[in-house]
A = this chain, B = another copy of it.
Amino acid sequence: MTSNTAGGPTRRERMRAETIAEIKASARAQLEESGPSGVSLRAIARDVGVTPAALYRYFDSLDALLTELCCDFYDELIAVTRDSMDASPPEAHLERMKAWVWCFRSWAVANRRRFELMLSFPEGDGALTLDGRKLEDGFEALDPVTRRSLEHSHLCGRELAAFWRQTEAEGGTAPGGPPMPEVSEALAEELQDKCSRFIVGEQVPLPWIYSFVSAWVRVFGLVVMEAFGSLPVQENVDEFYKTQVMTMLRDFGISE
């Protein structure tokens, strides 16, 4: 018998965990300096001091390893975002959303290679086609990286829903919600259907959803362009971001 009598992890389990950590560390290093396509299973094996075949005791394939890595990155991003949001009080929904945007951007820019890897995993189809079912039902069934991607979105979406409730209670902004162009019945329904469930998790008025999706597109564009070096503004990016965020807030009908 081993130390397992104490209920803790077996010696073997500890060893295994350590090996996995070593493997991932090597993979991360390679990713950082050669990009996603530069991660080589054999190179990892060389690094860890083991035969290539041995790695298959720990991961089903190279792709599986990269997938796990991708999940880790999402978890890191989510953690750091959550922390950053929690720097503001729970009711300061606006500040918390700003923190989300800021965090997303700075993380993606500071870790372009990881971000690159994450983008290389296309959003699973299941993310948007939960027709009929509640989100929670299919949530666990989603592939791990899509689930995490949604989790990340949720951090911001929840704040929006809360902010809407708050604003409504205080009789804030315009009565009908943020200004938005007229849309057809079909588009309105699709927006409500697809977004109110997986972005905010509860029924939210259409104008809010529309503005949210519009803002989300803008943030995505900004972050991807900057991370990949195709954003025209480069030296004063911070300020440019701030003005963009301000503009989006204005689109929400928020004066401040």
Q: Chain A interface (Cβ within 8 Å of chain B)?
A: 37, 119, 122-123, 125, 127-128, 180-181, 183-184, 186-187, 190-191, 194-195, 199, 213-214, 216-222, 224-225, 228-236, 239-240, 243-244, 246-247
Contacts and interface: CB of A to CB of B under 8 A. Distances in A.
Given A222-B221, A224-B221, A225-B220, A232 B184 contact: no
Nearest to A210: B243
A105 to B, nearest CB: 12
A31 to B, nearest CB: 16
Contacts of A231: 217
A221 B232 contact: no
A229 B181 contact: no
A230 B246 CA distance: 25
Closest 8 CB pairs of A and B: A221-B221, A187-B236, A123-B230, A217-B221, A181-B243, A220-B221, A187-B239, A194-B232
Q: How many copies of this chain sit in the oligomeric assembly?
A: 2
13 contacts: A119-B228, A122-B229, A180-B243, A184-B236, A186-B235, A186-B236, A190-B234, A194-B232, A195-B232, A216-B232, A220-B221, A221-B224, A224-B224
Given A122-B229, A181-B243, 15 more contacts: A122-B228, A181-B247, A183-B240, A186-B236, A187-B233, A187-B240, A191-B232, A191-B233, A194-B232, A199-B232, A213-B232, A213-B233, A214-B244, A219-B221, A221-B222
B236 A190 contact: yes
Nearest to A216: B232
A125 B214 CA distance: 30
Given A217-B222, A220-B224, A233 B37 contact: no
Contacts of A186: 235-236, 239
Contacts of A191: 232-233
Nearest to A235: B190
